[in-house]
């Protein structure tokens, strides 16, 4: 059976067909619609990110493509081969900068380059001889004027995102993800680990305008489509964690996303796999 975008259909036996049922658990959302005398079709959101309704501006499922249950399934559907040496890999970094106490996320509105006009985390391409942690530290300084110790990036390495494109077969983007949690100087109470910063020190540059958002109100409709999948998963996981003092408990994840032709402008995913 073909999986539809972000959802799986299962058949359940049902005696009465005139009702619509809705069952919601902590991990899944089940919506049943009557279609035949014997069965109802249930829409089961299998991915925790897809089932978190708290995010106000999530991209519609039609933009998010097919959710694969395994990397093998994803790779065979996209025709990507992990050992394809012919692909040119562009490595970059991306920083998830939070204030967990206040459930805030710092994003930047991109003024030029890849993703112009969109909101995104801070980061950019690795320069020669640079490690991902060094690159993330440098980019956060350049794009938001925030100086954070290198150690925080080493500890805050939380995974990777892999992007491929239907109309640019030779290119693969590998994004190293970092999570930095901060406290605002003068905050009255801090219940979780983080670096103290002065929020007034944050500055725009010619490339990005930084802006704080409440977690559930991040402008996902003005972001790359994949953010509606992995970023919502990540923030939901953070929200669910009891022990927020420990870096060891940071969520980890690796995501694979295959984009439809039209790239950045079209902003539509065909296939994805999120390993959490």
Ligand X SMILES: Nc1[nH]c(=O)nc2c1ncn2[C@H]1C[C@H](O)[C@@H](COP(=O)(O)OP(=O)(O)OP(=O)(O)O)O1
Q: Under the rule (CB under 6 A), what is the footprint of ligand X? A: 92-94, 113-115, 120, 123-125, 163, 173, 175, 224, 226-227
Q: Which residue has the tokens 């406290």?
A: 183
CB of 113 to ligand X, least distance (A): 3
CB of 274 to ligand X, least distance (A): 13
In the bound state with ligand X, the residue whose beta carbon lies nearer, of 182 and 231, is 231
CB of 165 to ligand X, least distance (A): 10
In the bound state with ligand X, the residue whose beta carbon lies nearer, of 184 and 230, is 230
- Reduced 3-state DSSP string for the chain: CCCEECEEEEEEECCCCCCCEEEECCCCEEEEEECCCCEEEEEECCCHHHHCCCCCCCCCHHHCCEECCCHHHHHHHHCCCCCCCCCEEEEEEEEEEEECCCCEEEEEEECCCCCCCCEECECCECCCCCCHHHHHHHHHHHHHCCCCCHHHHHHCEEEEEEEEECCEEEEEEEEEEEEEEEEECCCCCCCCCCEEECHHHCCCCCCEEEEEEEHHHCCHHHCCCCHHHHHHHHHHHHHHCCCCCCHHHCCCEEEEEEECCCHHHHCCEEEEEEEC
CA–CA dist 234, 168 (Å, integer): 28
In the bound state with ligand X, the residue whose beta carbon lies nearer, of 198 and 217, is 217
In the bound state with ligand X, the residue whose beta carbon lies nearer, of 51 and 228, is 228
**What region does 240 belong to: left with phi over 0, alpha with psi -120 to 50, or beta?**
alpha
In the bound state with ligand X, the residue whose beta carbon lies nearer, of 123 and 194, is 123
CB of 173 to ligand X, least distance (A): 6
Structure-block tokens of residue 79? 């025709």
CB of 223 to ligand X, least distance (A): 7
CA–CA dist 141, 108 (Å, integer): 13
CB of 108 to ligand X, least distance (A): 10
In the bound state with ligand X, the residue whose beta carbon lies nearer, of 163 and 184, is 163
CB of 241 to ligand X, least distance (A): 22
In the bound state with ligand X, the residue whose beta carbon lies nearer, of 124 and 159, is 124
């Amino acid at each position: 059976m073909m999986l539809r975008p972000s959802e799986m259909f299962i058949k359940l036996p049902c005696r009465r067909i005139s009702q619509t049922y809705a069952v919601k658990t902590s991990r899944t959302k089940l919506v049943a619609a009557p279609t035949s005398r014997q069965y109802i079709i249930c829409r089961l959101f299998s991915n925790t990110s897809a089932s978190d309704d708290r995010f106000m501006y999530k991209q519609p499922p039609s933009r998010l493509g097919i959710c694969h249950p395994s990397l093998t399934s994803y790779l065979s559907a996209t025709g990507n081969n992990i050992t394809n040496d012919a692909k040119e890999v562009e490595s970059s970094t991306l920083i998830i900068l939070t204030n967990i106490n206040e459930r805030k996320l710092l994003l930047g509105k991109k003024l030029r380059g890849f993703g112009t006009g969109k909101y995104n985390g801070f980061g950019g391409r690795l320069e020669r001889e640079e490690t991902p942690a060094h690159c993330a530290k440098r980019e956060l300084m350049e794009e938001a004027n925030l100086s954070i110790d290198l150690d925080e990036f080493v500890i805050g390495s939380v995974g990777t995102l892999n992007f491929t494109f239907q109309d640019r077969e030779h290119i693969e983007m590998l994004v190293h993800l970092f999570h930095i949690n901060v406290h605002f100087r003068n905050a009255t109470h801090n219940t979780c680990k983080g670096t103290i910063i002065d929020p007034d020190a944050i500055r725009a540059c010619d490339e990005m305008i930084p802006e704080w958002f409440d977690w559930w109100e991040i402008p996902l409709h003005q972001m790359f489509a994949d953010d509606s999948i992995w970023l919502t998963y990540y923030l939901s996981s953070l929200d669910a964690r009891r022990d927020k003092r420990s870096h060891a408990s940071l969520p980890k994840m690796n995501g694979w996303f295959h984009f439809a032709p039209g790239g950045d402008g079209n902003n539509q995913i065909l296939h994805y796999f999120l390993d959490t």
